[in-house]
Amino acid sequence: MGPGPTSVVGDLVLVVDFGAQYSQLIARRVREHKVYCELVPRSLPLSELVARRPKAVILSGGPASVYGSGAPRYDPALFGMGIPILGICYGMQLMAFLLGGQVEHGDRREYGRTTLEVTKADRPAGAVEAGDGSVLFSDVEKRTECWMSHGDLVLQAPPGFEVLARTANSPVAAFADPGRRLYGVQFHPEVVHTPQGRRILGNFLFKVAGCRPLWTPESMVEAGVREVREKVGDGRAIVALSGGVDSAVAAAMAHRALGERLTAVFVDHGLLRKDEPETVARTFGERLGGSFLAVDASGRFLRRLTGVRDPERKRKIVGEEFIRVFEEEARRQGLVGGFLVQGTTYPDVIESGGVAGVAAVIKSHHNVGGLPQRMTLGLVEPLRSLFKDEVRAAGLELGLPPDIVWRQPFPGPGLSIRIVGPVTRKKLAVLREADAVVTEEIERAGFGSAGGAAPGTAGAGADRLWQYFAVLPGVRSVGVMGDERTYAYTIVVRAVTSEDGMTADWARLPHDLLERIASRIVSTVPYVNRVAYDVTSKPPSTIEWE
């Protein structure tokens, strides 16, 4: 990923990723402080990192040992550049190792909640002397919980560093060289299991690094609109509009930038939910009038998916076919050499392995890993630097209605990745009906997103679901219906809570609600005789099954 919109938002914080499962979460937590942040691979040369002029750098955790064969390193000259640096877990150990401290394997792995004792606390009333490392724990309780996940530990801080905190198993749980503005914590301040973690990160960002909280919904919109204007110039573009929040926000940004030089194209690929093509066409057709086009391409998508079992292959087929449809529509409109605007988001890029060296390929999102190598349209992605909650905030800033902004996410490949194994018209029909039951019952019970309530507002709160849907795993089992033996499909119900989709927990739905869902599905959906409920979180699973 190239440089982000820092000229619009001011300060930039870079997270150097060493393979931690929480690396993306660090970036999110920094952004929650309204400071723009990006992940960069540990392979990024120091000269390129410095050229981006970061206000601060955070070194992430990771599964390696600093003494391990092939352990990830970084140029130690970084620590002499005058840039404020915070090392987290492995990042702290690496800092200690490279600067002359003592790092050793612990007698036992420290994992989970641990009591942190702040040994060098801030002065009363926040009066921190200049150059005092205790600023990191300003207004933090002397004894507080933190989340640990490590095998190695720092036994002795490097020369010039002072110890700020400890735990029962880690004598150096935090250290600092305030003169060089180098800080390290053995625990993970980015996770919710560290209650004071947000404050600690804020202390580093604002009191150590001097960052300014300029990453706001207004600046997000400004950055996106400017990117569209700069890339499209005086040309024309089409925007891929699925009806979901990402594409709707991208369309709104592009419309603000281009006006009548933009056409919204909705492609029905035959993999949508029950009645969705009609709903999208009606909703956006009324809003956009003649600049909205609906294309029925369901036949060609289903033909290409015939017999395909592998989920990665499904995603790539859908991604490529989408592009071909958009190219054909562009030619019909005379947009030779035009542009395609799509709602790619930051998690799409990261999970698809689109930021080299930052993360493994979890799944190739159709709009990233599924893109063909040759395209006749220039690609414009104004949301490429945003997390999902930031997309929603930008949507509200753009004046989009709440029912669009708070709509539950729906994957671009649609029901094809909620059917495990080959996709057929019969399976699609079964899954559509079952999914409609899940949606209706959950929303009737008041747990759904149909009301458009934002988290933290009346009608939302902890019970509001991030996603809820049905899955057809392709498993059939024996049942008894009407005193006769059946051998039919199983439907799995999936419902999760989340802030941004990066992590998720399975929803504790009331048993009577699950009973109603199961009873309706079995009694009204043909070829189904069993319903199960998915009780796994992300990680270790993903929200979607494929």
Residues annotated as catalytic are: 89, 188, 190
Closest to 498 in 3D by CA, of 542, 451, 435, 459: 542
Give the closest residue to 63 by CA, choosing from 128, 132, 152, 136. 152
- Residue closest to 117 by CA, chosen among 142, 150, 90, 146: 142
Amino acid at 193: H
For residue 113, what are its two tokens? 């909640």
Give the count of beta carbons closer than 10 Å to the beta carbon of residue 127: 9
* Residue pair 375/323 in contact by the 8 Å Cβ criterion: yes
Burial 345-358 (b: 16+ CB within 10 A, else e): bbbbbbbbbbbeeb
- Longest CA pairwise span in the chain (Å): 81
| 331: phi then psi, degrees, rounded to nearest 5 | -65, -40
List the beta bridge partners of residue 477: 488
Interatomic CA distance for residues 502 and 539, integer angstroms: 9
Write the CB contacts of 342 (distance below 8 Å, at least 6 apart in sequence): 239, 240, 247, 250, 367, 379, 380, 381
Beta carbons within 8 Å of 50's beta carbon, 6+ residues apart: 81, 83
